[in-house]
Chain A
Amino acid sequence: MRERHINAILLGGLLATALAAWGLDQPFTITLATKVAILALAGVGLNITLGLGGMISLGHAAFFGIGGYAMGILASHAQNYTPLMEAPLLIEGTNSMPVIWLVAIAASALAALVIGALSLRTTGAYFIMVTLAFGQMLYYFAISWPAYGGEDGLSIYVRNGFPGLNTLDPIQFFGLCFVLLCLVLLFVARLGRAPFGLALTAARQVPARVEAVGLSPYRLQLVAFVLSGAITGLAGALFADLNRFVSPAMFSWQTSGEIMVFVILGGVARLCGPVAGAALFILLEHWLGALSEFWHIYLGALLLIVVLFARGGLIGQIAGREAAHD
């Protein structure tokens, strides 16, 4: 089966699940589908660094959390009618989703620029450890900074609004997240074929040649890291809106690990790998979680099997290895 067909089936399946649940009046299933779409979006972000760029970032929870807190901070100020800042200029909170998304994207892109600029001075195992450490730094910062709830996190009572939609209606919020996911997928698909994406792929495979033609691998990788962080940040803002709650847990190393698991379960460097991975993860959480309180043992065992024996993830198993990026 061609990867293109699998992608269509995956996205179509997700949409059909949500619509069927809407028709059958099962809001919980719609919420699960929304969660899949949002977590997939976070994975799509990570996949730019991991799949296209070949950089193993174990710190993407940093951007997921920053996106979440961008939403939490803006919405909590709007909710309490207190300005975010008075001098030198007045900045008020907001509960408009588009504004929150822009702030989440900008803030996580900025963080990715700083973290990426430092981390990309290293490669290989160092890069993994450094990104993991910076993620942990933000986790401890979120815990020790009391202004926005500290360890307890922040609750937002009403979901933020989007012009013309009722975001409290599960199917409408799902639609919003699904459209964003599709737009970002479209962007990433084009990015992979654009000169930038090709140069980035080359920088992963043979950095020396990229340098020989006058491109800087460091810059290519940094731009990719920033794009990736921004997308994961957007997913973080949506995730916070889904739960109407943010907490330092969004910054934890487990979150970084889980986002990576979505990408791997689905298939690294596959466009819709994160969609497949996130869907599988949520289904496993739902089914195995009902079977046993200790479902992470089974998840761990499954992950071991995928890594040791079924390389290429779900999409790799169906589409065959030759269609992957390398």
Chain B
Amino acid sequence: MSTLLLIEQVLNGLQLGVMLFLMAAGLTLIFGVMGLINLAHGSLYMVGAFAAAAVAAATGSFLLALAASLAAAAAAGAVIELGVIRRLYDRDHLDQVLATFALILVFSEGTRWIFGSFPLFLEVPDYLSGPVTLFGGIQYPLYRLVIILAGLGIAAGLFLLIGRTRIGIQIRAGEADREMIAALGIDITRLYTLVFALGAALAGLAGALVGAIQSVQVGMGEPVLILAFVVIVIGGIGSVKGALVGALLVGLTDTLGRSFLPGLFGLIMEPAAATTVGSALASMAIYILMAGVLLFRPRGLFGVA
């Protein structure tokens, strides 16, 4: 277990973490402001990835593809907010779960209908592919490094947006007391659509960025959605800071667990058994982390008690 390998895996963990943050930030904002649990957030991730793959195939431009993922996911988000989601704000969580579950079915089968069942591929452009040499002679894929930096940049932008701008003030006020800000003359309906579309755009961008590493296929969104839920449970609902910390924790735990747990068990067990136990435990590591947080802080690390 060399230091180089460790640093590489930490970077991989960070990369997973920032992508989870893009998902979790939207989810947690939507929950915080509108009180809505949105299972269809994974579908918006998928929409972003498919839009990017389609545009990249048509134009050959990766930047256009990313723009398309933002636009398509934001548009899809705005459409479902206007058509379905806004009827759910004053319903109980059960209705929200069911309606958004129904949206998953519609989105997944609709995408399968349009694009077919085979996965699409989104190529990393030439100027972002290949390895880059970091401090200490570590070779690391340039694209993954760009993802980490882009994700951190977006996180910073989001904190500025929420902390420093007029829209951000309205969003925070909406979390605190939605009737009061309506009384102060803010068009709350438009604010809700805006927040939903913003969350959708972040999810779509994450889908496109990850789509270039993995394949773009129907059903790619839901595993990420569930990971984002784990992130939110760890970080605390409604807290963007919690989402960032939770996402990095989950990303690092998952990546480091997968790469090092089998080896660690190898120190005390036979190799074959160690691989089995280690990889099975690694696949459950983040849920065990979540259970631990639940034991000590049921409202999450940054949740209001």
Contact B94 A268 (CB under 8 A): yes
**Neighbouring B residues of A294 by C-beta, 8 Å:** 109-110, 112-113
The residue in chain A whose Cβ has the minimal distance to the Cβ of B228 is A129
State the interface size on chain B (CB cutoff 8 A): 43
Contacts A129-B233, A253-B222, A297-B109 given; indicate if A140 touches B102 (C-beta within 8 A). no
Most chain A CB within a 10 A radius of its CB, from B102, B226, B279, B291: B102
A residues near B300, Cβ cutoff 8 Å: 126
- What B residues does A304 contact at CB under 8 A? 84, 99, 102-103, 106
Q: Do residues A140 and B284 form an inter-chain contact, with CB atoms below 8 A?
A: yes
| Contact residues in B for A261 (Cβ distance below 8 Å) | 98, 101
Within the complex, which residue of B87, B229, B291 is in contact with A129, where a contact is CB–CB below 8 Å? B229
B266 close to A (CB within 8 Å) = no
**Does A122 contact B294, Cβ atoms closer than 8 Å?**
yes
Contact with A along B145-189 (1 / 0, CB 8 A): 000000000000000000000000000000000000000000000
Interchain CB contact under 8 A, B106 and A297: yes
Contact: A303 with B283, CB < 8 Å? no
A146 contact set on B, CB distance < 8 A: 276
Q: Does A42 contact B (CB under 8 A)?
A: no
Contact present for B226 and A133 (CB under 8 Å): yes
Assuming the contacts A129-B229, A132-B226, A132-B229, asked whether A297 and B110 have C-beta atoms less than 8 A apart, the reply is yes
Task: State how many residues of chain A have any CB contact under 8 Å with chain B.
Answer: 44
Provide the bound-state CA to CA distance between A182 and B303, in Å.
44
Give Cα A58 to B229, complex, Å.
12
Task: Indicate if the CB atoms of B87 and A308 lie closer than 8 Å.
Answer: yes
Q: Tell me if A198 is interfacial: C-beta within 8 Å of chain B.
A: no
A residues 113-163 touching B (CB-CB < 8 Å): 118-119, 121-122, 124-126, 128-130, 132-134, 136-137, 140-141, 143-147
Report the minimal beta-carbon distance from A52 to chain B, rounded to whole angstroms: 14
Min CB distance, B115 to chain A, in Å?
Answer: 12
List the B side residues contacting A268 at CB < 8 Å.
94
- Most B CB within 10 A of own CB, among A268, A296, A307: A307
Q: Which residues of A contact B (CB under 8 A)?
A: 50, 56, 58, 118-119, 121-122, 124-126, 128-130, 132-134, 136-137, 140-141, 143-147, 253, 257, 260-261, 264, 268, 294-297, 299-301, 303-304, 306-308, 311
Residues of B within 8 A of A (CB): 31, 37, 84, 87, 93-95, 97-99, 101-106, 108-110, 112-113, 222-223, 226, 229-230, 232-233, 237, 276, 279-280, 282-284, 287, 290-291, 294-295, 298-300
